[in-house]
Amino acid sequence: MVNTKESIESFIDNMPEDYKNEYKRYKRVMNILTREPEPEVGQTPKEVIWTKNKAKLYRYQPNKQKTKKVPILMIYALINKPYILDLTPGSSLIEYLTDRGHDVYLLDWGIPGHEDRHMKFDDYVMDYIPRAIKKVLKKSEQDEISLLGYCIGGTLTSIAAALHPNLPIRNLVFMTSPFDFSDAGLFSNWLDERYFNLDLMVDTLGNIPAETIDFGNKLLKPITNYFGPYVALANRADDDEFVKNWSLLQKWVEDGVPFPGEAYRQWIREFYQQNKLINDELYIRGQQVKLSNIKANVLNIAANRDHIAIPKQTEKLMDKISSKDKTYELVSAGHVSVTVGKKAPTTTYPLIEEWLAKRSN
């Protein structure tokens, strides 16, 4: 009786060397995709200090000495999970900051259920962010705070800061956050109210599935986003460090969360379609949002290869705010690689840390 496994192995052994290497590479790729366990993420030690509905407020490395006076509260987007800020040791903005004596907190929005479909921006900026700030100040026993908003989290942060000028916010850091939607690239075309039936979508689905948001983002560069990661993996499957980082990032990309329906309706209509924020036309619970109310120190970071929040959407903020100490930095990165790319630990991380360190004592 023929032993199939031995026959295959014998056949492979007799292959030309180039074919043999390609087969090994293919086998490695298939093992990565189908058999290897998911990588561990978010490993910086943390504790929960407050919860509200699905949201959790974390404090990182609580037992580590805090040499910088002003605590940092990070606010992430309503899509994907915030562990992108703490992806893995050595590629973690949170780890980098806490290792240098900063007292770091993160507001994790959690995973909304069907019962959260009526959540709006109003709820986040009026109920969640101000209360989280107060909890951080109480825990840290300090009188002022720094806020760091990433992606939509930065947009939310700017609104909260504008609506609550009495909150003791000393520093604001925005990372690839859109403020001006007059030209949002392909999104402006796709979300044009003449063609995109926003109400039908929200009324039908309730919360917008994570897969829908991911699909739209990937369509901005379909070949690169859909096939590029797997081509790269096939070409570098024998590079263990590359495979590790690839697996970590793919886990995060595929680990999305739903967008609460009413918040999504608001995001598309009042921001992308009507561009209300930058024009002082946005109202939250009856209060006008004026970015000119922002007087805190501001570091506004854009990425030159960002196709989700393109630089022209971020830079106009600088003309609207009243801050005397304000810095705009355009870094060489994409929307995600600004935080976890190979160069992030030597570019973005020190940029943020050094800027905050000078303004945190």
List pLDDT tens digits, range 229-266.
888 888 888 888 888 988 999 999 889 999 999 999 99
Whether 236 is in a domain gets the answer yes
- Alpha carbons 165 and 174: distance in angstroms, whole number: 17
Sheet-wide strand order for 46-52: 46-52, 55-60, 104-108, 72-75, 145-150, 169-175, 297-303, 326-331
Position with higher pLDDT, 275 vs 242: 275
Of 43-47, 142-146, 171-175, 211-215, which range is least confident? 211-215
The string of pLDDT tens digits covering residues 180-190 is 999 999 999 99
- Alpha carbons 340 and 83: distance in angstroms, whole number: 11
Whether 25 is in a domain gets the answer no
Task: Supply the pTM of this predicted model.
Answer: 0.92
Q: Contact 76/82 with Cβ under 8 angstroms?
A: yes
Residue 276 three-state SS: coil
Whether 304 is in a domain gets the answer yes
Phi, psi of 254 (to 5 degrees): -85, 0
The beta-strand segments (E) located in 98-157 are 104-108, 145-150
Whether 134 is in a domain gets the answer no
Q: Which of 153, 42, 58, 141 is nearest to 93 (CA)?
A: 42
Residue 52, beta-bridge partner list: 55
Whether 97 is in a domain gets the answer yes
Which of 86, 102, 123, 151 is flagged as catalytic? 151
Whether 306 is catalytic is: yes
Strand 326-331 versus strand 297-303 pairing type: parallel
Tell me the Cα Rg of the chain.
22
High-pLDDT (> 70) share of the chain, %: 94
pLDDT at 9 exceeding the cut of 70: no
The mean pLDDT value of the chain amounts to 92
Whether 335 is catalytic is: yes
The string of pLDDT tens digits covering residues 50-97 is 999 999 999 999 999 999 999 999 999 998 899 999 999 999 999 999
Q: 74 CB contacts (<8 Å, ≥6 apart)?
A: 82, 85, 94, 104, 105, 106, 107, 147, 148, 149, 150, 153
pLDDT at 21 exceeding the cut of 80: no
Whether 164 is catalytic is: no
Q: 14 CB contacts (<8 Å, ≥6 apart)?
A: none
Q: Contact 86/58 with Cβ under 8 angstroms?
A: no
Q: Contact 311/334 with Cβ under 8 angstroms?
A: no
Q: Which of 146, 137, 171, 179 is nearest to 49 (CA)?
A: 137
Domain containing 186 equals: 63-123+143-357
DSSP code at position 167: S
Residue 27 three-state SS: helix
Whether 12 is in a domain gets the answer no
pLDDT of residue 69: 94
Whether 38 is in a domain gets the answer no
When divided into structural domains, the chain yields a total of 1
Q: What CATH number is associated with residue 172?
A: 3.40.50.1820
Whether 200 is in a domain gets the answer yes
